[in-house]
Structure 1
């Protein structure tokens, strides 16, 4: 059986729809948590990343911290970038989600910078390959954006930032295809509601929108995973 490593940077983002689809596709999914809940306010933990060559797929997920905030997370983000670089060099596919996509870009010679404005909630994207990355809507919750690494092919974008790219057998997406109601509830309860209000949005309306459209969102997640496995990670 093929083995996938899911890297959870914080305890609030379990990515259940993504795990379910990978399991349906025949992967044994192992989940590793980098920053445990009791260290959320002090995330400068030590973490030993495994050798990516022992896995068939690596999926680094989102994070409430910034890839380039070395003062907060340098103890583990620097070794994570080294691990992603090693995965790419060994031909191990990576599917980077939000922070994970930014980390993939930075690991391969690109970078991360602040977005001109945050994207919080449902966003559509302009896509060059809708069979790989559809127009959405996709759920977004980010303040940073990547700078594409050398050799990357941008697949999707909008007026704020690049939204998806491929490089070798790997892909980064800026949005959260794995979103579901429990995950968004986690984010909103643990500080996200204040961020949403600060951006002029209504967190209750955001959550209700996801409740209405959760099944469709999970369907888009499955389609994205399928297309990635069949067209990029081959």
Structure 2
């Protein structure tokens, strides 16, 4: 199977549990570290899928590598190569495919529930999931639904939380978290928790019962990652 290529934009927002998930299923993967100036491979014929992770910047910023990733997404979309976007990555895919990214009202930080979006017809992405479940959030921006996409999930704080289009999925939340990552983000981005926002938890609320929260999160991760991986394998580009 050809590898899954994962794009990291900042060291503390790496693959996390996604890497463990792929390793457990013997799916090869490689990491392109934008944060240490790795070049963006422009080709898609040598991989079975692309994953774009989070970042501490906005897709609307003037960044030297941003246009390269947007062009790569458009190339992969035209080629039918499955993609997954996580938070910044979901915003990136939305923008590349004609959506818009804008600032939300305050920030969404911590453990908050998601619900299936009204009119979510492509339920195969959500097979095995309850109607509502908690995931981890840490973001200020939000994406619009790109043309032709299917809304999948929403929340009270930020309406647009996930969308699919063909074999691609964009998410605003973080399924890849480990307990170590949560604690590292609190250390690095803790000043965000002092901002006034109706949808931001304090560090104590985020970390109480953290191991149990992570275990529950990974059950959700296994379902969504598994449904994406099934599309990667069925796509035929991993052989």
The offset of 1:60, in angstroms, is: 0.3
Query: How much is the aligned-residue C-alpha RMSD, in angstroms?
Result: 1.9
Does 2:67 correspond to 1:78?
yes
Runs of 4+ in 1 over 3 A off after TM superposition: 231-234
Determine helix, strand or coil for the equivalent of 2:161. Answer: strand
Residue 131 of structure 1 is matched in structure 2 by 127
Paired residues for 1:89-100 under 5 Å: 89-100=78-89
Unaligned segments of structure 1, at least 5 residues:
37-45
Residue 51 of structure 2 is matched in structure 1 by 59
CA–CA distance in structure 2, aligned partners of residues 146 and 121 of structure 1 = 19
CA contact (8 A) 1:115 1:161 kept: no
Return the TM-score normalized by structure 2: 0.85
The offset of 1:184, in angstroms, is: 1.4
- Choose between structure 1 and 2: higher helix proportion: 1
The offset of 1:217, in angstroms, is: 1.4
Cα distance per residue 1:36-61 (max 9 Å; x no partner): 3xxxxxxxxx5521122321010100
Paired residues for 1:1-234 under 5 Å: 1-36=1-36, 47-50=38-41, 51-70=43-62, 74-127=63-116, 128=120, 129=123, 130-131=126-127, 135-159=132-156, 160-190=158-188, 192-199=189-196, 201-230=201-230, 234=234
CA contact (8 A) 1:15 1:183 kept: no
How many residue pairs end up in the alignment? 221
The offset of 1:24, in angstroms, is: 2.4
Q: Structure 1's 143 and 233: CA in aligned 2 closer, same or farther, altered over 3 A?
A: farther
Q: Structure 1's 132 and 58: CA in aligned 2 closer, same or farther, altered over 3 A?
A: farther
Residue 42 of structure 1 is matched in structure 2 by none
